[in-house]
Amino acid sequence: MNDTQGIFATSTRQVNIPVAISSRHVHLTQATIEQLFGNQYQLRVDTVLNQPYQYEAMETVALIGPYGRIRNVRVVGPARAVNQIEVSRTDAITLGIKAPVRESGDLIGSPGIVIEGPRAQVQLGTGVICAFRHIHMSPADAERLAVKDRDRVEVSTEVYNRGVRFRDVLVRVSPDYQLELHLDTDEANAAGLRAGDFAVLCKTGNSDLNL
Amino acid sequence: MNDTQGIFATSTRQVNIPVAISSRHVHLTQATIEQLFGNQYQLRVDTVLNQPYQYEAMETVALIGPYGRIRNVRVVGPARAVNQIEVSRTDAITLGIKAPVRESGDLIGSPGIVIEGPRAQVQLGTGVICAFRHIHMSPADAERLAVKDRDRVEVSTEVYNRGVRFRDVLVRVSPDYQLELHLDTDEANAAGLRAGDFAVLCKTGNSDLNL
């Protein structure tokens, strides 16, 4: 039993999970895009992201909160069914907004904000969140890591003088997903991480891998 | 032996360490204060801090880096022998400066910056750091927590949905110190912490307290 656990821990530990760092960004509906940028406006692709069909658009907006403004906030395409504004907690404090830590799409009760584009300012009634940290992975990765969709796991990073173990990391499994730990800029900076660094799983469900 | 360890772990675990969050700030020499604010200028006390003789001054400066500027950066008094600028990594990226993670006073090879006050801009050749996270404590606290000056320990925080275990936390012991975990804004925000929240020690030197 101990031997089996030992082997399991070692093999899991060897999986390096690439770190992706999400800067503040907005997902917009086509209606909001048209209000901000003009009638029948279509987002233009700047950089294709690793997760399926997602891209950084060339378009940016400004976020205007009660205490402050943040310019040059990237729109992530394609257009979505619901507006969603993802900021770090540092950003939320700059703006003067209490953004809750939420999964993508879980926007009930989240605060609104003013978004400014070249054609207009749009007041959103809801939609500002700090993203719940999460790992995207395929079913094959999930099997290899011995986790399942919606598990809450712990992940360890080892940058010199800034080692961190993140608890409350959500597992998201889909055949379309590529293995990637998504952290916001506060989380990445607290751990001294850069894009392309790696994290390792150190606790899955009830099993502690003793890292 | 197990019983003893169990009792020890429990008693250590019960020590709540108050969290203090350091926003970006500058420590200045009297010469730099006079360049920025005027001849024979004396800092005015705004808020007395918990650590001995330290205070937030009423004076603020702007930091100007190659990529950006940050206004309203607090001066922490009293005047010191060496200029030291403490920023978060988020701030360092905004400014366009590669600030190393360093203990207070360890400034060799750190980058410089332009500081702007009401009377002048001053170019510093060195002095910008991200503070190494640390716990201030008295000798009595150190004995109670079974640690000693300059130990590197691990500390756990448990805010809902943002639990974090910080490794690489430096212990600083002095009769003048009040028990306090000092984190920067990136670290506090990554863990969802507010000033007045608490952390607990979860690993001291070679002993893991199994939190």
Residue A140 to residue A131: CA distance in whole angstroms? 25
Residue A129 to residue A22: CA distance in whole angstroms? 13
Token representation of residue A118: 């070249």
Give this complex's ipTM: 0.89
Per-residue pLDDT tens digits of chain B, which is 211 residues long: 333 444 444 444 468 999 999 999 999 999 999 999 999 999 999 999 988 899 999 999 999 999 999 999 999 999 999 999 999 999 999 999 999 999 999 999 999 999 999 999 999 999 999 999 999 999 999 999 999 999 999 999 999 999 999 999 999 999 999 999 999 999 999 999 998 899 999 887 656 665 4
- Residue B204 · residue B8 · CB < 8 Å: no
Between chains, do A164 and B167 touch, taking CB under 8 Å as contact? yes
Place of tokens 């749009």: A122
* CA torsion through residues A118, A120, A123, A124, sign: negative
- B91 in A contact zone (CB under 8 Å): no
- Residue A9 · residue A209 · CB < 8 Å: yes
Residue A186's closest CA among B159, B208, B200? B159
Residue A185 to residue A193: CA distance in whole angstroms? 9
Place of tokens 């600028």: B85
Residue A199's closest CA among A147, A163, A173? A163
Hey, which residues does B153 pair with through a beta bridge? B169, B204
- pTM for the predicted model, two decimal places: 0.91
- A132 in B contact zone (CB under 8 Å): yes
- A99 in B contact zone (CB under 8 Å): no
Instruction: List the domains of chain A with CATH numbers.
Output: 15-20+133-203 (2.40.40.20), 23-131 (no CATH)
Between chains, do B163 and A164 touch, taking CB under 8 Å as contact? no
Between chains, do A163 and B162 touch, taking CB under 8 Å as contact? no
- B165 in A contact zone (CB under 8 Å): yes
- B95 in A contact zone (CB under 8 Å): no
Residue of B167, B186, B192 with shortest CB distance to A189: B186
Residue A202 to residue A1: CA distance in whole angstroms? 19
Residue of A132, A161, A165 with shortest CB distance to B165: A165
Query: In Å, how far is A163's CA from the nearest CA of chain B?
Result: 5
Q: Mutate one of A129, A155, A161, A166 to test the B interface: name it (highest B CB count within 10 A).
A: A161
